[in-house]
């Protein structure tokens, strides 16, 4: 059977391609730009990639066209699929029908932390010998790929609240039929899809309506919006988790440097280990993963021990280079809450060092100005902030950043941003590039420029 995937270089659709290939399908796909890292993963899987939207890619006709949610009416290939009456599915629908049927699905949902929590959970199950399948919207360092079929009934899926496709405006996660659900947190996001937080709450309610009574819902006990979602109706046993409180599942740092963690279930024995991650937000993510793994039979002590060997996720505060005594990181943070939490974590990890942020505001919600008022406070933990200003942003964006005063460098050119950073950085600085896109390769360019300056004249 031949499936053709539109929008294949997105992390979710690339994962679908990997799963289909492993299941024995002939897989082809196209995207507007065939770009790494997903293009590299797909080439390793020997998936045929087509750049652009020439309708000839549908000749001969595939058995099914899987359409990503970035695709819209008016796209030549989408129009050809409809005009020719070709069979088509959304990515989540295809996943549900061809991979998830009959499996114990762990769905990891929430505004923040989905990728890290999913990666942690998949690793805990793997380390326990359970050989889970998974589809993760990022690149977990403990695995070679972002998705695999697995060799057991367990499957971990990063359960995104974004809409499914141009023909299905439900959240992706309602398709997955999960038995165990993690709800990490809930804030307003995706303003291009949802008008307010209540609209997202309604989608979470739809998810809760399909979790079986013999399943499990794990919820952040400190999140008021999640409490509202549960109050709308839940027919499944609920356990809450959190730090420093009266929760079913609790965790804490066992040392001031956040290098050791301790976790326990209510009335249970605590388990502790060293780990390579940092930050209270990641400790919450890890706690949720440990709690979820217990529903697959993994003990608390076994799951916590696995976290000692968790290597992290690419683009989640990933240290990509050290030049002299200047450290450079790549971070996916693009929501004010994620930005603030990332900065809090790196400052605790490197006390006394300057924290320098380079930010590319790229998400649809950021472009709409929804987060303007929260942006400067979120960046307040940085000593120096270089913000790339897209040409189509209006004056309200500039005004929102004025509170950063002389710490702010507002720059409308990628190369100029690199030049300014290279001039202003000094030994000991921790430089964090924050973007959910490529940021004009500024991080790579800065690394090369610092190396050039360090080596001196040729």
Alpha-helix residue ranges (DSSP H) falling in 100-217: 114-127, 197-208
26 has a pLDDT exceeding 60: yes
Distance CA 120, CA 113 (A): 11
Sign (positive or negative) of CA dihedral 372, 373, 376, 381: negative
φ and ψ at residue 225, rounded to 5 degrees = -65, -35
Distance (Å, rounded) from C-alpha 243 to C-alpha 233?
Answer: 25
State mean pLDDT over 214-240. 96
Interatomic CA distance for residues 369 and 367, integer angstroms: 5
Angle between helices 197-208 and 224-231 (to 10 degrees): 50
pLDDT of residue 457: 63
pLDDT band for 364, please (50, 70, 90 cuts).
low
Q: Over the stretch 47-74, which tens digit does the pLDDT of each residue have?
A: 999 999 999 999 999 999 999 999 999 9
- Contacts within 8 Å (CB) and 24+ apart, 163-167: 163/69, 163/193, 164/69, 164/90, 164/91, 164/92, 164/93, 165/67, 165/68, 165/69, 165/71, 165/90, 165/91, 166/67, 166/69, 166/71, 166/72, 166/73, 166/78, 167/67, 167/90
The pLDDT-based confidence of 187 (bands split at 50, 70, 90) is confident
Q: What is the CA radius of gyration of the chain?
A: 22
* Domains of the chain and CATH, by start: 2-91 (3.40.50.720), 102-307 (3.40.1190.10), 318-455 (3.90.190.20)
Q: Strand, helix or coil at 179? A: coil
What is the mean predicted confidence (pLDDT) over 141-145?
88
CB 99 within 8 A of CB 24: no
Percent of the chain past pLDDT 70, that is, above it, reads 95
pLDDT in tens, 74-130: 999 999 999 999 999 999 999 999 999 999 999 999 888 889 999 999 999 999 999
């Amino acid at each position: 059977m031949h499936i053709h995937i539109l929008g294949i270089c997105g992390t979710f659709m690339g994962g679908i391609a990997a799963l289909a290939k492993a299941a024995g399908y002939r897989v082809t796909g196209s995207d507007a730009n065939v770009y790494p890292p997903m293009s590299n993963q797909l080439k390793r899987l020997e998936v045929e990639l087509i750049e652009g939207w020439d309708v000839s890619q549908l000749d001969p006709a595939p058995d099914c066209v899987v359409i990503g949610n970035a695709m819209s009416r008016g796209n030549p290939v989408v129009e050809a699929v409809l005009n020719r009456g070709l069979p088509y599915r959304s990515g989540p629908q295809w996943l549900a029908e061809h991979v998830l049927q009959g499996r114990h699905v762990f769905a990891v949902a929430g505004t923040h932390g989905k990728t890290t929590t999913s990666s942690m959970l998949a690793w805990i199950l793997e380390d326990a010998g359970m050989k889970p399948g998974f589809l993760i919207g990022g690149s977990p360092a403990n695995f070679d790929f972002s998705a695999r079929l697995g060799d057991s009934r367990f499957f971990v899926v990063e359960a995104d609240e974004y809409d499914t496709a141009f023909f299905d405006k439900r959240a992706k996660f309602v398709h997955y039929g999960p038995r165990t659900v993690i709800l990490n947190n809930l804030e307003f996001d995706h303003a291009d899809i949802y008008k307010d937080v209540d609209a997202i709450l309604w989608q979470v309610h739809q998810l809760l309506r399909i979790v079986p009574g013999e399943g499990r819902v794990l919820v952040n006990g400190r999140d008021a919006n999640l409490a509202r979602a549960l109050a709308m109706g839940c027919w499944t046993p609920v356990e809450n988790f959190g730090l420093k409180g009266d929760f079913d599942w609790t965790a804490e740092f066992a040392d001031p440097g956040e290098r050791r963690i301790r976790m326990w279930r209510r009335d249970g024995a605590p388990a502790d280990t060293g780990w390579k991650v940092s930050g209270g937000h990641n400790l919450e993510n890890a706690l949720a993963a440990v709690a979820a793994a217990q529903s697959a039979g993994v003990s608390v002590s076994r799951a916590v021990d696995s976290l000692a060997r968790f290597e992290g996720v690419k683009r989640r505060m990933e240290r990509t280079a050290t030049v002299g005594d200047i450290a450079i990181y790549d971070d996916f943070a693009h929501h004010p809450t994620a930005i603030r939490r990332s900065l809090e974590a790196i400052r605790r990890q490197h006390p006394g060092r300057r924290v320098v942020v380079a930010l590319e505001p790229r998400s649809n919600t950021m472009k709409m100005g929804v987060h303007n008022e929260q942006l400067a406070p979120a960046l307040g933990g940085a000593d120096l902030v270089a913000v790339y200003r897209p040409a189509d942003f209006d004056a309200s964006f500039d005004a929102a950043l004025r509170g950063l005063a002389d710490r702010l460098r507002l720059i409308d050119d990628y190369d100029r941003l690199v030049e300014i950073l290279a001039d202003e950085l000094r030994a000991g600085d921790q430089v964090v590039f924050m973007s959910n896109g490529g940021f004009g390769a500024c991080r790579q360019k800065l690394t090369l420029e610092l190396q050039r300056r360090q080596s001196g004249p040729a």
